[in-house]
């Protein structure tokens, strides 16, 4: 994974290539980001990125998304997701509208019913299945 300095250099390069404008602030990794690709901070103009996005082929699209916020804010135009300026510029540079999913969707636990020999994948189904099995056994 890139260091924060290397990430900042990459963001600067992408900014010049796609926006023909410089990126004059800091880009850094933020481990606390879970489902979002990145964040733009208008207060000090830095960008945070989810380190899980770094290995994805679409990471450049995430950078373009955050740079769109950055450049529109600096030019005093609509920089929020709902603004037409944002949607237009994001489309022009080919940035991602939404971050790719990085949530690991593996099933962590399997439950089994000894009587019916069924595997149940979550607690809610386990509870419902247990009640159903008890009712069948009671008859």
**What H or E segment, with its residue span, contains residue 124?**
helix 123-138
Mean of pLDDT values over 7-14: 98
Say whether 66 is catalytic: yes
Tokens of 46: 């830095």
CA torsion, ordered 19, 22, 25, 27, to nearest 10 deg: 50
Tokens of 107: 């099933």
Mean of pLDDT values over 36-55: 94
Q: Which of 6, 66, 124, 134 is catalytic?
A: 66
CA torsion, ordered 23, 28, 30, 31, to nearest 10 deg: 140
Give every CB contact of residue 124 below 8 A, 6+ residues apart in sequence. Answer: none
Tokens of 136: 């069948």
Which residue, 64, 15, 11, 4, is CA-closest to 37?
64
> Residue 8 pLDDT more than 50?
yes
Tokens of 44: 């000090």
Q: Are 9 and 17 in contact (CB under 8 A)?
A: no
Task: Note the pLDDT of residue 138.
Answer: 42
| Average pLDDT of every residue of the chain | 84
How does pLDDT run across 80-138, given as a tens digit for each residue? 999 999 999 999 999 999 988 766 555 555 556 666 656 555 555 444 444 444 444 44
CA–CA gap between residue 21 and residue 97 (Å, rounded): 21
> Residue 79 pLDDT more than 50?
yes
DSSP 3-state assignment of 84?
helix
């Amino acid at each position: 994974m890139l260091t924060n300095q290397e990430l900042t250099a990459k963001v600067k390069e992408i900014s010049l290539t796609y926006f023909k404008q410089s990126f004059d602030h800091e880009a850094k990794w933020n481990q606390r980001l879970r489902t979002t690709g990145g964040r733009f901070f208008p207060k000090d103009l830095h960008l945070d990125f989810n380190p899980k996005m770094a290995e994805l082929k679409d990471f450049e699209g995430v950078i373009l998304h955050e740079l769109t916020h950055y450049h529109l804010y600096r030019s005093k135009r609509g920089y929020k997701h709902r603004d037409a300026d944002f949607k237009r510029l994001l489309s022009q540079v080919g940035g991602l509208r939404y971050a790719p999913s990085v949530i690991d969707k593996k099933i962590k636990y399997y439950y089994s019913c000894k009587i019916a020999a069924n595997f149940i994948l979550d607690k809610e189904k386990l509870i419902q299945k247990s009640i159903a099995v008890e009712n069948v056994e009671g008859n």
